[in-house]
Structure 1
Amino acid sequence: MRSPRPLRTLSRVLSSLTVASFLAVAAVPSAAQTKGPNSVADLADNLLDAVVNISTSQNGGSGQGNVPMPRLPEGSPFEEYFNEFFENGRPPQRRPGPGSSLGSGFVIDAEEGIIVTNNHVISDADEIVINFADGSKVNAELIGADTKTDIAVLKVDPKAHDLKAVPFGDSAQMRIGDWVMAIGNPFGFGGTVTVGIVSARNRQIGSGPYDDYIQTDAAINRGNSGGPLFNMDGEVIGINTAIISPSGGSIGIGFAIPSRLAMNVVNQLREYGETRRGWLGVRIQPVTEEIAESLGLESASGVLVSGIDKGGPAAGGKLEAGDIIIGFDGKDIDDVRELSRSVAESPVGETVTVEILRKGERMSVAIELGRLEEGEKLAEASAEEGEGEAVEVESAQLLGMTIAELTDERRAEFELSEEASGVVVTEVEEGSVAAREGVQAGDVIVEIALQSVSSPQEALDQIESLKEQGRKNALLMLASKSGELRFVTLRMN
């Protein structure tokens, strides 16, 4: 299997995400086709004027807008080509100079002059120029951008050109086999129309935390990035963003960001100039078959809470390490990706109901969501102070144990001395590797692999470091309630 090629450069590879917004004006007179279109001429004629070419210029500097290399799972089929593009983890340098055709975009609000494109298309630009199908050009200003989804919202003077907008449709209604049309500016050839079908849905290509691509065989090439993918009603149901290709040209495997994901981001960028995603304040991991079996679950579904961010919305006992999240705000949760998207799309400050399994008992917990961006700022501040790369956690799930900070309250609860230092084990899963080695609630983890630990975060980081080194076992020094020390070896897989 070949890896996804980026649409944004003349390099061999492309990685981008694009999205669009909700307000639209022009109604597109076209009936949905159920048996495949005999011709799409009328549909294309009504849509072409809403799709634009975008070029930029820079006074100096270089780079691709600080586009990060996608985090790909080890052994991913995409790894080879992304590595070619992002040499040493960084994209190739772009020479400063006059503007050149970089990508596509489309008008979503003719009265306000709002255009949507990819963030990477306009990132670091000193001047953004919108090129229309009739050859005219107008300058645009950046309203807001989101690096996580690679979306940017632009604004032009609506009086400077006669604008035509296109509406968003519901990507969730698209079925595999439905006809779609792509319009964009591949290789600088403006106003190019291609037709295909929805080949697959919910594709993950490792490009970001909200991967959920529509796959299509409509021909998409470099320069289509930021352009719309239409249904046969002329509604935007996706944003063309990446391709798989050995040469950079289309071989019939392209990816588009679904409109359902795009609309919320674009609306926030229009209103605030930035995103405001919900934040639950937990560390999560998939429920594997092994975890499901150890917890007595019927199936490996839901999301395991492995840690609670200190000071986050779920702190203070609302959620605990070891909880299994099975529902969020009335929706069933089957996996990590589904929970991440559901939380991010929820309004900041909203009180949501989280359905969990705790020690086999189903219960509901009400939590007021925080703002993800504020949580990230806390993490950055923590990293700058040398406290780790993430917000400190007050409790965590580790090798079959629930561990927590050694506070005065917990010293009293487990009858521990003032001299005890480390992290306290508050609970041990029955049948876990820790239970088999005789670890008990009230034991204190003093060291992991001969390195002292003083917080749940340090314990998590130390175990992760051992795994990265290829180690299979972790050597723990434990202190009992009486202060007696002993070593145990716990298998990490």
Structure 2
Amino acid sequence: MIRFNFKALSACALSTALAATVSTVLLPMTPAVAQVRVLPDFTDLVEQVGPSVVNIRTLEKISPRSAPGGQFDPDMLEFFRRFGLPIPNIPNGPRQSPPPGHGQQPNQEEQPRGVGSGFILTSDGMIMTNAHVVDGADEVIVTLTDKREFKAKIIGADKRSDVAVVKIEATGLPAVKVGDVSRLKVGEWVMAIGSPFGLENSVTAGIVSAKQRDTGDYLPFIQTDVAINPGNSGGPLINMRGEVVGINSQIYSRSGGSMGISFSIPMDEAVRVSEQLRATGRVTRGRIGVQIEQVTKEVAETNGLGTPYGALVRGVETGGPADKAGVEAGDIIIKFDGKKVEKSSDLPRMVGGTKPGVKSNLTVFRRGASKDLTVTIAEIEAEKTAAKTPEKTPKESKMAQAMGLELSDLTDAVKKELKIKGGVQVNAASGAAARAGLRQGDVILSVANVAVASVAGFEKIVADLDKSKPVNILYRRGDWAQYTVIRFNP
């Protein structure tokens, strides 16, 4: 115990002694102070990566009569040209007559289309940018940080991934270092360099907000809060090691400017695309011929899957790779080449990244059991137009009417044409059936995993169902067998 002679202590000394005593007693009970990190300094990164970032201007050859610039006076046109801004197109706007002294314009003239960014991928002049930056351009001008300008050749552009590669004739250029996207963490500091609104070499910074953000069919985007604006497109997203981990591609905005949500193409995906563009000028992707959607809790429960995951097959292309492999509408694809399909958007990326002609393994969940199938990957092509099935006289069906359906039996000729053994045709769909996506001309093949042979058979199957639960429907539309779920009480 600590004792004091209060008579011998002055007020000041007493106060000091008490403070020391309290400090001594309470100090061990004070919680540990959280480690404070100093905010990052980006100056070294800018010096390191800045020379590898380029400004990209695109030009378009247009006729003066159809030029959008014909709607503005020459001073306004000069403003847009001087600052490298795209000239607004107002088809119904008032046209200005050329002022006196302006001579006859040539048959064609080059007008600025837009401004974007890019970065040097190789020292011999390969430059990566967005496909939408160079799309439709007749001429591409690349400006380096040392103010040298080059006319660039478009090597290839892929609209699906929004990646493009252009080439300038130069050597000894400062190429970027490509980073490992798998090491990127949410909350990590990142930096962007680009030309927002034509303002070259603008630097902005922020953190990674999310990874694997689904905003496209073939790419899981990196989401950040880095300020990205029009003109930043195609520029690099850089980590604190000075490595490029993404290509700035999209923003979420209600105003056209930055609102703190931006998306970048992961560099590993971009490199794979660029390698194909540099080799062949185009990107080849795989397909298996299925229509898919997310597996909901209801679908998982009605199929006995339990936890909702995988990709629900809503439709199978007749004669397509999946059809030949034995995939059926209503199957849930849970694995592709041994890799788990967590969500439906995973499957197009897995299949699309597989070379056409390769045999891959599919694991499907069908009627309570898993089944392995082998599918030969085909090359992506335009979807076929569904054929229309002939209409038939409807038959009375109370159960069908309760679902919003008018049905009729199929003739033997129609069954032969569609290469099916049974089914009933939809003559009209409303209510619950319409909400489920059914429409006139569809052919219902099964209900609740039970094959339908006729309207009478449909009536019997539906009569035995629990109307408080959703029921799955397998149907045919044109060349596609498809799958949906009807809810009696939405």
CA contact (8 A) 2:191 2:239 kept: yes
Secondary structure of 1:98's aligned partner:
strand
Find out whether 1:266 has 2:279 as its counterpart.
Answer: no
Deviation at 1:314, TM superposition (A): 1.3
Distance 1:414 1:214, change over 3 A: closer
Q: Does 1:145 align with 2:179?
A: no
- The 3-state SS of whatever aligns with 2:48 is helix
**Residue 330 (structure 1) aligns with:** 338
Give 1:165's match in structure 2, choosing from 172, 175, 183. 175
Offset from partner CA, 1:139-167 (integer Å, 9 cap, x none): 111111111122211111124xx411113
Greater RCO, 1 or 2 (C-alpha within 8 Å, sep 6+): 1
Residue pair 2:356, 2:377 contacting (<8 A) in 1 also: yes
Change (3 A) 1:163 1:317: closer
Is 1:116 the counterpart of 2:94 in the alignment? no
Corresponding position: 1:456 with 2:468: no
Q: Counterpart of 1:406 in 2: which secondary structure? A: helix
Task: Measure how far apart 1:220 and its partner are.
Answer: 1.7
Instruction: Name the structure 1 match of 2:196.
Output: 186
| Cα RMSD, aligned residues only | 4.1
Contact 1:56 1:129 in 2 (8 A): yes
Q: Which residue matches 2:116?
A: 103
Aligned partner of 1:318 among 307, 326, 338: 326
Q: Is the 8 A contact 2:447 2:458 kept in 1?
A: no
**Which amino acid letter does the alignment assign opposite residue 127 of structure 1?**
E
Q: 1:224 to 1:96 in 2, by over 3 A?
A: farther
Q: Distance in 2 between matches of 1:216 and 1:303?
A: 28
Contact 2:162 2:249 in 1 (8 A): no
Give the equivalent residue in structure 2 for 1:43: 45
- Counterpart selection for 2:227 from 213, 219, 231: 219
What residue is the counterpart of 2:12 in the other structure? Answer: none
The reply on whether 1:176 has 2:186 as its aligned counterpart is: yes
Aligned amino acid, residue 48 of structure 1: G
Pair 1:302–1:101, CA change in 2 (3 A): closer
**Higher gyration radius (CA):** 2
Between the aligned partners of 2:489 and 2:144, the Cα distance in structure 1 is 58
Alpha-carbon shift at residue 336 of structure 1 (Å): 1.2
Quote the residue 2:352 is aligned against: 344
Q: Which residue of 2 aligns with 1:80?
A: none
Q: Is the 8 A contact 1:406 1:424 kept in 2?
A: no
Matches within 5 A, 1:393-408: 406-407=415-416
Structure 1 residue 316: Cα displacement: 2.5
How high is the TM-score relative to the length of structure 2?
0.65
1:81-480 map, 5 Å:
97-99=110-112, 102-111=115-124, 113-159=125-171, 162-205=172-215, 208-372=216-380, 375-376=381-382, 379=383, 382-383=384-385, 387=387, 406-407=415-416, 427-430=446-449, 437-439=459-461, 456-458=476-478
Q: Is residue 191–residue 204 contact of structure 2 (8 Å, CA) maintained in 1?
A: yes
Specify the code of the residue in structure 2 equivalent to 1:428. V
State the alpha-carbon separation in 1 of the partners of residues 337 and 67 from structure 2. Answer: 41
Q: CA deviation at 1:432?
A: 11
2:291–2:314 contact (8 Å) kept in structure 1: yes
Kept in 2, the 8 Å contact 1:130–1:139? The answer is yes
Percent of aligned positions that are identical: 38
Deviation of the 1:195 alpha carbon: 1.8
Per the alignment, do residues 460 and 321 of structure 1 end up closer, same or farther by CA in structure 2, a change over 3 Å counting? Answer: closer
Q: Distance in 1 between matches of 2:444 and 2:291?
A: 18
Distance 1:59 1:188, change over 3 A: same
| CA deviation after TM superposition for structure 1 residue 368, in Å | 1.4
* CA separation of 1:124 and 1:414: change in aligned 2, threshold 3 A: closer
Partners of 1:426 and 1:101 lie apart in 2 by 52
Report the Cα offset of residue 191 of structure 1: 1.2
- The separation in 2 between residues aligned to 1:325 and 1:439, in whole angstroms, is 27
Which one-letter code corresponds to 1:142 in the other structure? I
Unaligned runs of 5+ in 1: 1-33, 65-84, 88-94, 389-398, 417-421, 441-454, 465-471, 474-489
In structure 2, relative to structure 1, the CA distance for the partners of 1:351 and 1:187 (3 Å cut) is: same
Letter in 1 for 2:51: D
| Equivalent position SS for 1:242 | strand
Structure 1 residues 124 and 304 mapped into 2: Cα distance closer, same or farther (>3 Å)?
A: same
Q: d(CA) in 2 for partners of 1:285 and 1:415?
A: 24
How far apart in 1 are the matches of 2:339 and 2:483? 33
2:423, 2:445 within 8 Å by CA — same for their partners in 1? no
How much has 1:458 moved relative to structure 2? 3.7
Tell me by how many angstroms 1:463 deviates.
Answer: 11
Distance in 2 separating the partners of 1:423 and 1:38: 61
Q: Which amino acid aligns with 1:429?
A: A
**Relative to 1, partners in 2 of residues 1:308 and 1:100: Cα closer, same or farther, differing over 3 Å?**
closer
Count residues with an aligned counterpart: 367
Q: Assess, with a 3 A threshold, how the Cα gap between structure 1 residues 407 and 35 changes in structure 2: closer, same or farther.
A: farther
Q: Confirm or deny: 8 A CA contact 2:314 2:482 kept in the other structure.
A: no
The letter of the residue matching 1:347 is: K
- Asked if the contact 1:146/1:152 (under 8 Å) is kept, the reply is yes
Q: Tell me how far 1:246 sits from its aligned partner.
A: 4.4
Q: Which runs of 5+ in 2 are unaligned?
A: 1-35, 69-87, 91-107, 389-402, 404-409, 425-440, 463-474
**Distance verdict in 2 for CA 1:50–1:98, change over 3 Å:** same
8 Å CA contact 1:282–1:308 kept in 2: the answer is yes
Task: Give the C-alpha shift of residue 224 in structure 1.
Answer: 0.5
- Counterpart Cα distance in 1 of 2:162 and 2:330: 34
Amino acid at match of 1:215: Q
Q: Structure 1 pair 334/292, CA: closer, same or farther in 2 (3 Å)?
A: same
Inter-partner Cα distance in structure 2 for 1:302 and 1:38: 41
